[in-house]
Amino acid sequence: MSAVSQGTKRALILEVVVVECIYVLDKYYGIPRREIAEKLSGIMKFAGIFNPDRSEILEALLTYATSTIDIVDCLLAAHSSQERIVVSFDKDMTRLKAVSEPL
């Protein structure tokens, strides 16, 4: 892992992996949201980590740490924009100030 943190090796971390990590750390191990978000954000900032959606993942982790909203909704909100409107049944999109349209 030190090679990835230093950037001498590259690794892709997909959003689905972040979601699964959060689920396990929260539900199984009972780790607080802020701690989960802090640790995963640190890993996502390693020099060797690449993901075209890294900034959205980091934004979603920050929102997750400071709210009671689940990570999937945080990710959807982070991806939303005037060009990428999220369509959702979930009222959390309004709380997140996501660019969304209710179904």
CB proximity list for 51: less than 8 A, separation 6 or greater: 12, 13, 14, 15, 44, 57
CB proximity list for 33: less than 8 A, separation 6 or greater: 26, 64, 65
**Residue 31: pLDDT above 50?**
yes
Q: Number of H helices and number of E strands within the chain? A: 6, 4
Please state the φ and ψ torsions of residue 3, each to the nearest 5 degrees: -65, -35
pLDDT, tens digit (0-9, with 9 covering 90-100), for 47-66: 999 999 999 999 999 999 99
Output the pTM of the full model. 0.85
